[in-house]
A and B are shown apart, each in its own frame.
Chain A
């Protein structure tokens, strides 16, 4: 495993040693249920509450506004469905964007089947939502605006504070799926007027299977998971104590050096973006580095297909991701790339690199070397590239 070069941090991250160390006692000695009254139960309760403080501090929320879940998808589902159910008497209209994560898009589609109306906002070529379209879409029946903080495929960071202000002005609740943003870019829920936020621990070097939602004090939503009184009756189920402890440790570490880390990551990413353009012809840069997560770079290599690129990179020990139809599990390539105006043929050849803290400049150089070689090889096999060279076809 030591020769793996991992460039897929938007998919998941490697849990840090210090996070594992923090969790270990709660996987072994302190196995008590956080709801139990005896000493090892109280020990678990204390640990959960300490983690809650850390999660709250990371986004400038109050501890009582944080509810632990099993991850980002559960948080998105709970919030969107919970608002829809609680505010049904007020209205049935939800506004979101075309480039949301499936956890939001599919939840909205479910609600459409139940009679809700959903507006999917367009984005510009950078992937930024149109604020004028947002304002124009709000109507008396609008109960929720759900716009992701940062996109998972191209890294675009939305003007969240402006969206928050528009939501507040119009008395509409505002949710942001911040799964990619937490730990990568500063978040202040009060300043940004965020009513609900979703996050997931494994995106910032924490464990998988644990996440959280922020619900602003005073906002009431229906619960998704009914049962016991855990999480102040907002989310039933015995707390994942080791996971929550790990999440607390991970978010504290990530947010204590967020600016330093962002500078390091964007330095590597910008180097990659500049070099890939110099070394490999006929590419399209799908990420705009002016409004992007620090470690994300999405590029399309024309005349080749993304899945074959991924497998050839894998043979070199490189882990990355693609928005090609063949990796999306559907016949169409990434909805995000199509929404920012990437032609279908070009979207098939996309590659997402998401750089993490353990990556070095040497890793990037190795990636660039491998990419140059592989892209050339795949193009030499591509009849599309042959047609391009013969002047018969051009992307």
Chain B
């Protein structure tokens, strides 16, 4: 069901934990759906210097969080915004169909964190969300009722 790479990122997650000096934090998902991702980023000179995460969820949720932090570290904000869930899936060597939404969540968590960065820089929430492609209903792909 899961690739070796997924199991590896789940068993030995990279960058797990909180980032004390994070200047961008984004959280998506909800406990009813069964997955929540929280991304902490440290951005300096427009570059993501460090990234950490905390995730409540299944193996795929943890693995996609882990691999996403790896993928965006060292990227510019613009490049990090280009991260797609497909890139996350490819990096993991594939995900089972019912777990694709975990990769979507990872992409969304990063966008949410980057939007938070712009908000902290003084941008309006609406503007920041638009710039970063944050949609209001980040858990729409999950049909669970709240």
Residues of A within 8 A of B (CB): 303-305, 307-308, 311-312, 315, 324-326, 329, 331-333, 344-345, 348, 380-386, 393, 395
Contact = CB atoms under 8 A, between A and B. Distances in A.
A382 B59 contact: no
Given A308-B59, A312-B11, A382-B36, 8 more contacts: A303-B56, A305-B56, A308-B10, A308-B62, A325-B144, A331-B33, A344-B32, A386-B18
Contact count band on B: 20 to 34
Interface string B33-73: 11111100000000000000011111111100000000000
Contacts of B143: 331
A307 B58 contact: yes
Contacts of B36: 382-384
Nearest to A386: B54
Secondary structure call for the A interface: helix
A311 B10 CA distance: 9
Contacts of B56: 303-305, 381-385
17 contacts: A303-B56, A308-B58, A325-B34, A326-B34, A326-B58, A326-B60, A344-B31, A345-B31, A345-B32, A381-B13, A381-B56, A383-B27, A383-B36, A383-B37, A383-B55, A384-B56, A385-B56
Secondary structure call for the B interface: mixed
B123 interface: no
Contact of B55 (A324, A333, A382, A393): A382
Contacts of A382: 36, 54-56
Contacts of B11: 311-312, 315
Given A344-B32, A344-B144, A384-B31, A329 B54 contact: no
A324 B16 contact: no
